[in-house]
Structure 1
Amino acid sequence: MSYPANYKYTKEHEWIEVDGAKGTVGITDYAQNSLGDIVFVDLPKVGDTLEAHKIFGSVESVKAVSDLYSPVSGTVTAINEELKDAPEKINADANNTWMLKLDLSNSAELDGLLAAADYEKFISEETGH
Protein backbone atom coordinates (compact mmCIF):
# COMPACT_ATOMS: atom_id res chain seq x y z
CA MET A 1 0.00 0.00 0.00
CA SER A 2 1.33 3.39 -0.82
CA TYR A 3 0.55 6.42 1.30
CA PRO A 4 -0.14 9.84 -0.24
CA ALA A 5 3.07 11.88 -0.21
CA ASN A 6 1.21 15.13 0.48
CA TYR A 7 -0.12 13.82 3.83
CA LYS A 8 1.66 13.84 7.19
CA TYR A 9 1.30 10.83 9.52
CA THR A 10 1.29 9.98 13.22
CA LYS A 11 2.71 6.89 14.87
CA GLU A 12 -0.87 6.23 16.05
CA HIS A 13 -1.83 5.80 12.36
CA GLU A 14 -3.73 9.01 11.61
CA TRP A 15 -3.08 11.16 8.56
CA ILE A 16 -3.53 14.87 7.99
CA GLU A 17 -3.71 16.72 4.71
CA VAL A 18 -2.88 20.39 5.15
CA ASP A 19 -4.01 23.31 3.01
CA GLY A 20 -2.70 26.56 4.48
CA ALA A 21 -4.01 26.72 8.05
CA LYS A 22 -6.67 24.06 7.48
CA GLY A 23 -6.28 20.34 8.00
CA THR A 24 -8.24 17.24 7.03
CA VAL A 25 -7.79 14.17 9.25
CA GLY A 26 -8.41 10.45 8.77
CA ILE A 27 -6.86 7.09 9.62
CA THR A 28 -4.38 5.23 7.48
CA ASP A 29 -4.99 2.16 5.39
CA TYR A 30 -2.71 0.26 7.76
CA ALA A 31 -4.99 1.23 10.68
CA GLN A 32 -8.23 0.21 8.99
CA ASN A 33 -6.65 -3.07 7.88
CA SER A 34 -5.48 -3.81 11.43
CA LEU A 35 -8.91 -2.98 12.86
CA GLY A 36 -10.96 -5.07 10.47
CA ASP A 37 -14.57 -4.20 9.66
CA ILE A 38 -15.36 -0.78 11.15
CA VAL A 39 -18.87 -0.61 12.60
CA PHE A 40 -18.92 2.72 14.46
CA VAL A 41 -17.00 6.01 14.55
CA ASP A 42 -17.21 8.44 17.48
CA LEU A 43 -16.13 11.94 16.45
CA PRO A 44 -15.99 15.32 18.20
CA LYS A 45 -18.46 18.13 17.52
CA VAL A 46 -17.89 21.11 15.26
CA GLY A 47 -16.37 23.84 17.41
CA ASP A 48 -14.51 21.45 19.71
CA THR A 49 -10.86 22.26 20.38
CA LEU A 50 -8.38 19.44 19.85
CA GLU A 51 -4.89 19.11 21.28
CA ALA A 52 -2.04 17.52 19.37
CA HIS A 53 -1.52 13.86 20.29
CA LYS A 54 -4.63 13.79 22.52
CA ILE A 55 -7.67 11.57 21.98
CA PHE A 56 -10.44 13.11 19.86
CA GLY A 57 -12.68 10.11 19.32
CA SER A 58 -12.71 6.39 18.65
CA VAL A 59 -13.25 3.79 15.98
CA GLU A 60 -15.05 0.56 16.78
CA SER A 61 -14.52 -2.54 14.70
CA VAL A 62 -15.67 -6.13 15.04
CA LYS A 63 -12.30 -6.78 16.74
CA ALA A 64 -11.77 -3.81 19.08
CA VAL A 65 -12.31 -0.17 19.96
CA SER A 66 -9.37 2.09 19.17
CA ASP A 67 -8.79 5.67 20.24
CA LEU A 68 -8.17 8.35 17.62
CA TYR A 69 -5.41 10.89 18.26
CA SER A 70 -5.29 14.36 16.77
CA PRO A 71 -2.13 14.95 14.73
CA VAL A 72 -2.22 18.68 15.58
CA SER A 73 -4.01 21.20 17.78
CA GLY A 74 -6.94 23.10 16.34
CA THR A 75 -10.66 23.76 16.21
CA VAL A 76 -13.00 21.31 14.48
CA THR A 77 -14.73 22.97 11.51
CA ALA A 78 -16.49 19.91 10.04
CA ILE A 79 -17.05 16.21 10.67
CA ASN A 80 -17.80 13.60 8.05
CA GLU A 81 -21.50 12.98 8.74
CA GLU A 82 -21.56 10.10 6.24
CA LEU A 83 -19.54 7.98 8.68
CA LYS A 84 -22.45 7.88 11.17
CA ASP A 85 -24.45 5.70 8.80
CA ALA A 86 -21.63 4.23 6.72
CA PRO A 87 -18.46 3.77 8.82
CA GLU A 88 -17.40 1.01 6.41
CA LYS A 89 -16.38 3.74 3.94
CA ILE A 90 -13.14 3.90 5.93
CA ASN A 91 -12.44 0.23 5.16
CA ALA A 92 -13.15 0.81 1.47
CA ASP A 93 -10.76 3.76 1.05
CA ALA A 94 -9.04 4.92 4.24
CA ASN A 95 -6.61 7.27 2.48
CA ASN A 96 -9.47 9.26 0.94
CA THR A 97 -12.11 9.03 3.68
CA TRP A 98 -11.76 11.99 5.99
CA MET A 99 -13.11 12.07 9.54
CA LEU A 100 -12.83 15.72 10.45
CA LYS A 101 -11.57 19.06 9.26
CA LEU A 102 -9.97 21.63 11.52
CA ASP A 103 -8.33 25.03 11.66
CA LEU A 104 -4.77 24.54 12.87
CA SER A 105 -3.79 26.57 15.90
CA ASN A 106 -0.05 25.84 15.64
CA SER A 107 1.30 24.84 12.22
CA ALA A 108 4.75 24.19 13.76
CA GLU A 109 3.27 20.95 15.18
CA LEU A 110 3.33 19.56 11.64
CA ASP A 111 7.12 19.36 11.88
CA GLY A 112 6.76 16.56 14.44
CA LEU A 113 4.76 14.34 12.08
CA LEU A 114 6.05 11.70 9.70
CA ALA A 115 6.40 12.05 5.94
CA ALA A 116 4.93 9.19 3.87
CA ALA A 117 8.28 7.42 3.43
CA ASP A 118 9.02 7.69 7.16
CA TYR A 119 5.56 6.35 8.00
CA GLU A 120 6.05 3.37 5.68
CA LYS A 121 9.42 2.69 7.34
CA PHE A 122 7.77 2.93 10.78
CA ILE A 123 5.10 0.38 9.76
CA SER A 124 7.67 -2.02 8.37
CA GLU A 125 9.67 -1.80 11.62
CA GLU A 126 6.49 -2.27 13.68
CA THR A 127 5.30 -5.29 11.69
CA GLY A 128 8.67 -6.76 10.78
CA HIS A 129 7.77 -6.67 7.05
Structure 2
Amino acid sequence: MIPEDLHYSEEHEWVRLDDGIAVVGITDFAQDQLGDIVYVDLPDVGEVLEAGSVVGELESTKSVSDIFSPIGGEVVARNESLDGAAEVINSDPYGEGWLLKIRPSDDEPTAGLLSPEQYTSLVSS
Protein backbone atom coordinates (compact mmCIF):
# COMPACT_ATOMS: atom_id res chain seq x y z
CA MET A 1 0.00 0.00 0.00
CA ILE A 2 1.54 3.30 -1.12
CA PRO A 3 -0.05 6.35 0.55
CA GLU A 4 -1.48 8.84 -1.94
CA ASP A 5 -0.66 11.96 0.11
CA LEU A 6 3.13 11.59 0.01
CA HIS A 7 5.97 12.31 -2.42
CA TYR A 8 8.70 9.73 -3.01
CA SER A 9 12.38 9.54 -3.93
CA GLU A 10 13.94 6.91 -6.19
CA GLU A 11 15.96 5.86 -3.11
CA HIS A 12 12.70 4.88 -1.33
CA GLU A 13 12.27 7.81 1.04
CA TRP A 14 8.91 9.54 1.45
CA VAL A 15 8.12 13.20 2.14
CA ARG A 16 4.99 14.73 3.65
CA LEU A 17 4.73 18.52 3.86
CA ASP A 18 3.19 19.62 7.14
CA ASP A 19 2.85 23.42 7.65
CA GLY A 20 5.96 24.08 5.57
CA ILE A 21 8.04 21.39 7.32
CA ALA A 22 8.94 18.21 5.46
CA VAL A 23 8.51 14.98 7.41
CA VAL A 24 10.78 12.26 5.96
CA GLY A 25 10.84 8.50 6.35
CA ILE A 26 11.48 5.33 4.37
CA THR A 27 8.79 3.52 2.44
CA ASP A 28 7.13 0.25 3.34
CA PHE A 29 8.88 -1.26 0.30
CA ALA A 30 12.28 -0.16 1.66
CA GLN A 31 11.71 -1.49 5.17
CA ASP A 32 10.49 -4.78 3.71
CA GLN A 33 13.63 -5.10 1.57
CA LEU A 34 15.88 -4.30 4.54
CA GLY A 35 14.30 -6.77 6.94
CA ASP A 36 14.37 -6.24 10.70
CA ILE A 37 15.84 -2.79 11.36
CA VAL A 38 17.95 -2.78 14.53
CA TYR A 39 19.75 0.59 14.45
CA VAL A 40 19.37 4.00 12.84
CA ASP A 41 21.95 6.78 12.53
CA LEU A 42 20.42 10.21 11.80
CA PRO A 43 21.89 13.68 11.30
CA ASP A 44 21.78 16.21 14.14
CA VAL A 45 19.22 18.98 14.50
CA GLY A 46 20.61 22.11 12.85
CA GLU A 47 22.49 20.20 10.17
CA VAL A 48 21.94 21.51 6.64
CA LEU A 49 21.28 18.76 4.09
CA GLU A 50 21.59 18.73 0.32
CA ALA A 51 18.97 16.90 -1.72
CA GLY A 52 20.29 13.49 -2.75
CA SER A 53 23.11 13.42 -0.19
CA VAL A 54 23.73 10.55 2.24
CA VAL A 55 22.55 11.72 5.65
CA GLY A 56 22.53 8.57 7.77
CA GLU A 57 22.32 4.80 7.90
CA LEU A 58 19.82 2.08 8.65
CA GLU A 59 21.22 -1.17 9.98
CA SER A 60 19.15 -4.32 9.66
CA THR A 61 19.78 -7.96 10.38
CA LYS A 62 20.55 -8.31 6.63
CA SER A 63 22.63 -5.24 5.76
CA VAL A 64 23.51 -1.59 6.29
CA SER A 65 21.79 0.88 3.99
CA ASP A 66 22.33 4.59 3.42
CA ILE A 67 19.58 7.13 4.08
CA PHE A 68 19.42 9.84 1.42
CA SER A 69 17.87 13.26 1.94
CA PRO A 70 15.04 13.58 -0.58
CA ILE A 71 15.10 17.38 -0.25
CA GLY A 72 17.51 20.10 0.77
CA GLY A 73 17.11 22.06 3.99
CA GLU A 74 17.82 22.24 7.70
CA VAL A 75 17.06 19.39 10.11
CA VAL A 76 14.59 20.75 12.67
CA ALA A 77 13.80 17.43 14.39
CA ARG A 78 14.93 13.83 14.42
CA ASN A 79 12.88 10.93 15.68
CA GLU A 80 14.69 10.35 18.98
CA SER A 81 12.28 7.53 19.90
CA LEU A 82 14.00 5.36 17.27
CA ASP A 83 17.25 5.33 19.29
CA GLY A 84 16.09 2.42 21.42
CA ALA A 85 13.32 1.13 19.16
CA ALA A 86 14.43 1.18 15.51
CA GLU A 87 12.01 -1.69 14.78
CA VAL A 88 9.18 0.88 14.77
CA ILE A 89 10.35 1.71 11.23
CA ASN A 90 9.33 -1.84 10.23
CA SER A 91 5.94 -1.78 11.94
CA ASP A 92 4.88 1.81 11.11
CA PRO A 93 7.08 3.33 8.35
CA TYR A 94 4.56 6.05 7.44
CA GLY A 95 3.66 7.00 11.03
CA GLU A 96 5.69 6.56 14.22
CA GLY A 97 8.66 5.35 12.14
CA TRP A 98 9.37 8.77 10.56
CA LEU A 99 13.05 9.74 10.54
CA LEU A 100 13.54 13.50 10.16
CA LYS A 101 11.76 16.81 9.92
CA ILE A 102 13.40 19.27 7.55
CA ARG A 103 12.77 22.97 6.93
CA PRO A 104 13.08 23.04 3.11
CA SER A 105 15.56 25.44 1.52
CA ASP A 106 13.55 25.43 -1.72
CA ASP A 107 10.15 27.01 -2.40
CA GLU A 108 9.04 23.85 -4.24
CA PRO A 109 10.75 21.13 -2.17
CA THR A 110 8.85 18.21 -3.70
CA ALA A 111 9.25 19.32 -7.35
CA GLY A 112 11.90 16.67 -8.14
CA LEU A 113 10.18 13.81 -6.33
CA LEU A 114 7.96 11.02 -7.62
CA SER A 115 4.18 10.97 -7.39
CA PRO A 116 2.52 7.93 -5.77
CA GLU A 117 1.77 6.58 -9.27
CA GLN A 118 5.39 7.01 -10.40
CA TYR A 119 6.67 5.37 -7.23
CA THR A 120 4.27 2.45 -7.69
CA SER A 121 5.69 1.96 -11.20
CA LEU A 122 9.25 2.09 -9.82
CA VAL A 123 8.72 -0.62 -7.22
CA SER A 124 6.62 -2.89 -9.40
CA SER A 125 9.10 -3.00 -12.29
The two structures have a TM-score, normalised by structure 2, of 0.95
1:72 and 1:53 map into 2 onto residues whose CA distance is 7
Unaligned runs of 5+ in 1: none
Looking at secondary structure, tell me which structure has more helix per residue: 1
Which residue does 1:116 correspond to in 2? 116
Unaligned runs of 5+ in 2: none
Which residue does 2:3 correspond to in 1? 4
8 Å CA contact retained: 1:3, 1:95: no
Give the residue type in structure 1 aligned to 2:122. Answer: F
Runs of 4+ in 1 over 3 A off after TM superposition: none
Which residue does 2:29 correspond to in 1? 30
Q: How many residues align?
A: 124
Residues 40-51 of structure 1: matches in 2 within 5 Å?
40-51=39-50
CA deviations on 1:22-65 (whole Å, 9 max, x unpaired) are: 10000000000000000000000000001001011010000000
Q: CA deviation at 1:20?
A: 4.1
Give identity over the alignment, percent: 46
2:71 equivalent to 1:75: no
